[in-house]
A and B are shown apart, each in its own frame.
Chain A
Amino acid sequence: MSSTNERIICVPGQVLCASSNDHVAGQGTFERMGYIYASLAGVVKVEKKLEINIVQVQSLKEQSTVPSPGDIVTARVLIVKSRQCMCEIKCIGDIALTRPFRAVLRQEDVRATEKDRVKMYESFAPGDIILARVLPIMDVHTYQLSTAENELGVVISHSEAGVPMVPISWTEMQCPVNFTKKLRKVAKVIPENIDIDMEDNTETEKKPST
Chain B
Amino acid sequence: MPVDHRRIQGPECSEDYRKPKTLDAALLKKGSRRADGRKCGEQRKIFLKPGVVSQAKGSAYIELDHTKVICSVFDPREKASRNLEQQTVRGEIFCEFKFASFSGVQRRSHQQEADDKEYSLLLKNALEPAVCLHEFPNFQVDVQVLVLQDDGSSLAAAITCAGLALADAAVPMYDLPVGLSKAFSGDTEFFDPTGAEERMCLRGVDGESDHGVFTIGFLPTFNQVSQLFHSGHISSDRFGKMISEVGTLAAEVHKAVQAILLSAVKSSIDSSDNSKLLL
List A residues at the B interface (Cβ < 8 Å). 2, 4, 7, 9, 11-14, 28, 30, 32, 37, 39-43, 45, 58-64, 66, 98-99, 101-102, 137, 140-141
Contact = CB atoms under 8 A, between A and B. Distances in A.
Contacts, number: 108
A141 B78 CA distance: 7
B155 to A, nearest CB: 21
Given A30-B132, A64-B75, A64-B76, A39 B174 contact: yes
Given A4-B266, A11-B262, A41 B167 contact: yes
B16 interface: no
A201 B131 CA distance: 46
B176 A11 contact: yes
A6 to B, nearest CB: 11
Contact of B268 (A13, A60, A63, A99): A60
A169 B266 CA distance: 51
Contact of B175 (A4, A9, A13, A66): A13
A12 B266 contact: no
Contacts of A59: 170
Contacts of B153: none
B196 to A, nearest CB: 35
Given A60-B269, A140-B84, A140-B138, A30 B171 contact: no
A12 B175 contact: yes
Given A11-B167, A41-B167, A98-B57, A137 B269 contact: no
Task: Give the bracket for the number of chain B residues in contact with chain A.
Answer: 35 or more
Interface stretch (B105-113, B230-238, B270-278): B270-278
B270 to A, nearest CB: 7
Nearest to B260: A11
A30 B135 CA distance: 11
A137 B138 contact: yes
A87 B136 CA distance: 21
A12 B176 contact: yes
Given A2-B266, A101-B78, A13 B170 contact: no
Interface in B74-96: 75-79, 81, 84-85, 88
A140 B140 CA distance: 13
Interface in B47-83: 57-58, 75-79, 81
Interface string B168-209: 111111111000000000000000000000000000000000
Interface of B: 57-58, 75-79, 81, 84-85, 88, 132, 136-139, 141, 167-176, 219-222, 258, 261-262, 264-266, 268-270, 274, 277-278
A40 to B, nearest CB: 6
10 contacts: A9-B266, A30-B132, A43-B269, A58-B277, A58-B278, A60-B274, A60-B277, A62-B170, A64-B171, A66-B76
Contacts of A37: 174, 221
Of all A-B residue pairs in the complex, the 5 with the closest CB atoms, nearest first, are A13-B175, A13-B221, A39-B172, A12-B173, A59-B170
A39 B173 contact: yes
Contacts of B79: 140
Given A11-B176, A60-B277, A141-B78, A40 B258 contact: no
Contacts of B170: 40-42, 59-64
Nearest to A60: B268
A14 B221 CA distance: 8
A13 B226 CA distance: 15
B88 A137 contact: yes
B254 to A, nearest CB: 8
A102 B266 CA distance: 36
A141 B88 CA distance: 10
A64 B265 contact: no
- Residue among B77, B169, B175, B265 having the largest count of chain A Cβ atoms under 10 Å: B265
Most B CB contacts (10 A, CB to CB) among A2, A11, A40 go to A11
B174 A12 contact: yes
A7 B269 CA distance: 10
Nearest to B261: A11
A172 to B, nearest CB: 36
